[in-house]
Amino acid sequence: GRALLVLLLSATVSLLGGLIFGYELGIISGALLQLQTDFHLSCFKQEVLVSAVLIGALLASLVGGILIDRHGRRRAILVSNLVLFVGSLILTLARSFTVLVTGRVTVGFAISVSSMACCIYVSEMVAAHQRGLLVSLYEAGITVGILLSYALNYIFADVDEGWRYMFGLAIAPTAMQFLSILFLPVNPVKLSSWDSDCQKGLIPLQDAEDRAAAKREPCQEKHYSFLDLFRTRDNMRRRTLVGLGLVLFQQFTGQPNVLGYASKIFHSVGFQSNSSAILASVGLGAIKVVATLVAMALADKAGRRVLLMAGCVVMAISVTTIGLTTCMAPLAMARDCKAATDPNASYSLTQQPLTSVFPQSAVSPISPASGAVKNQAGPGFAATRSLTKVFTSTQSKEVFPNSSLIQKRDLVGQSKKGTVESTGPPLTGAPWSQHTVLNWITLLSMMAFVSAFSIGFGPMTWLVLSEIYPAGIRGRAFAFCNSFNWAANLLISLSFLDLIDAIGFSWMFLLYGLMGVMAVIFIYVFVPETKGQSLEEIDQQFSRKR
């Protein structure tokens, strides 16, 4: 009975942790539509507000590891819940732009600490054959959180100061997670020996010989310094290589930016403006949920390594296909940011030669904030110069444009204009309008890409990271890799428009395809299979020189 209770509470903590993460990433896109009018935000201020979460997350990844290792995973989650409560309260009661930014930095710090601590805590609490399922549950929570945030964005879009409700409602799942974890024991890694872990049924050892060895020599937790991550002791350098390789390839295969063009791809296959954005957000979100459930089911059967490699292969094929089809049928580029201070202000334009004129009847407006998250457990996201590309990563979270909200708030600012100024040909002559088959291939490729990421890199990166390091340095190692995840996401997002200017949209996606092939080779050579092994066995496997 006690083992079942631990299992259910661990699942609850994992799911709620992901849900809060996804919710906080997704809610800003709807809230920003109201905030830009209530606070008269310029494009720059909108970017600052969205990227404030990133600043908090980066701070957390620098100091959160010490908190997790020194004070325990359970206490770190409890502290992050309290910090998130304070951050949500600040946002709900905010009366100035500075207070809003402070609240978002606080929230970013809290969800980053929580994302790391949840993955590690759950991986240590449950048996080896359930670890993949329960850690992957965090990724599923993220996707559900994003979809929930869109639903609430829509509900409160017409409510006066509805953004206060949007930010404030994050307190509910935070309180539920806080109460759930109070009933869970302190992590088993703090216990004196493997034998006591085994008796509690938390980390069952594989066979009688392991149990006998554990009884003969109690396992003293080793102590590591941060610099040990780069030394040969216990093969730590190779573990760090595996961790950094996974988080960097997760970003460099193009996941944040592919999703930034979801709305344009939906529009190009013939969906009108409203249905385009709704399908891009809810449709791809639903695909992501289904794919994550598949990953949860297969993580402990097929194994982490197999899912990572299969996901990478499909991602590489998908982005290469998008690159080739957009080469023959280029996508139209839309304008990005709209400052609310001047209803007739011109949009900032990405310097893209394919930009077309959009008659009002066919406009596919892009919300001021759209993005993609790490799969968090995918923890990770970033801010860009153009708010269409404000990306968030985590453990892999994707936030899509929601144009129905913009329309409801009448913030597109085109009611007095027939068209938006542009350098391109009229819409009816746009090259992509004549390539229906190629456009559908592009759309299906994007769906395949989202599914492959949600089965492979999305959940598996964070699952492997929570397994491969010794208990004594697991928190700091996870945080170190996580900081590279956020930084890479920021770099990719900020450089995206410049790279498109330099080499073109199609070549950019072909480059992502090449990175996908390199990722497959990296995983095949360096990443071992960890399914069905206790954390101690994984540690021993890595400690042997290979």
Does this chain's domain 1-185 share its CATH topology with 226-333+433-545?
yes
Cα 101 to Cα 310: distance, rounded to the nearest angstrom = 40
Two structure tokens written together for 193: 């020996």
Mean pLDDT of all residues in 344-355: 34
The pLDDT tens digits for 283-293 are 788 888 899 99
**Strand 371-378, strand 395-399: pairing:** antiparallel
The DSSP letter of residue 253 is T
Going by pLDDT thresholds of 50, 70 and 90, the confidence category of residue 236 is confident
Going by pLDDT thresholds of 50, 70 and 90, the confidence category of residue 195 is very low
Of the candidates 186, 151, 131, which has an alpha carbon nearest to the alpha carbon of residue 19? 151
What was the pLDDT predicted at 77? 94
Going by pLDDT thresholds of 50, 70 and 90, the confidence category of residue 383 is very low
Two structure tokens written together for 153: 């964005």
Least confident of 41-50, 251-260, 305-314: 251-260
Query: Phi, psi (5° rounding) for residue 377?
Result: -40, 10
Element spanning 116, H or E: helix 97-125
Cα 478 to Cα 138: distance, rounded to the nearest angstrom = 16
Q: What CATH architecture is 226-333+433-545?
A: Up-down Bundle (1.20)
Class of domain 1-185: mainly alpha
Provide the whole-model pTM: 0.73
Of the candidates 363, 364, 369, 367, which has an alpha carbon nearest to the alpha carbon of residue 417? 363
Q: At what angle do helices 97-125 and 457-468 cross, to 10 degrees?
A: 60
Least confident of 219-228, 264-273, 348-357, 400-409: 348-357
What was the pLDDT predicted at 345? 38
Which residues are CB-neighbours of 444 under 8 A, at least 6 positions away? Answer: none
Mean pLDDT of all residues in 159-181: 93
Which residues are CB-neighbours of 424 under 8 A, at least 6 positions away? Answer: 332, 353, 354, 355, 356, 357, 430
Answer yes or no: is pLDDT of 425 > 50: no
Going by pLDDT thresholds of 50, 70 and 90, the confidence category of residue 539 is confident
Half-sphere exposure for 507 (CA within 13 Å, toward CB): 8
Least confident of 30-34, 74-78, 337-341: 337-341
Whole-number mean pLDDT of the chain?
75
- Bridge partners of 17, per DSSP, are none
Mean pLDDT of all residues in 216-221: 49
The pLDDT tens digits for 460-499 are 998 999 888 888 888 899 999 999 988 887 788 777 777 7
Least confident of 39-48, 404-413, 521-530: 404-413
Answer yes or no: is pLDDT of 435 > 50: yes
Sequence spans of domains, the chain: 1-185, 226-333+433-545
What was the pLDDT predicted at 218? 42
Two structure tokens written together for 176: 């539920």
Of the candidates 180, 451, 479, 144, which has an alpha carbon nearest to the alpha carbon of residue 282? 144
Mean pLDDT of all residues in 377-381: 36
The gap between the terminal CA atoms of the chain, to the nearest Å, is 42
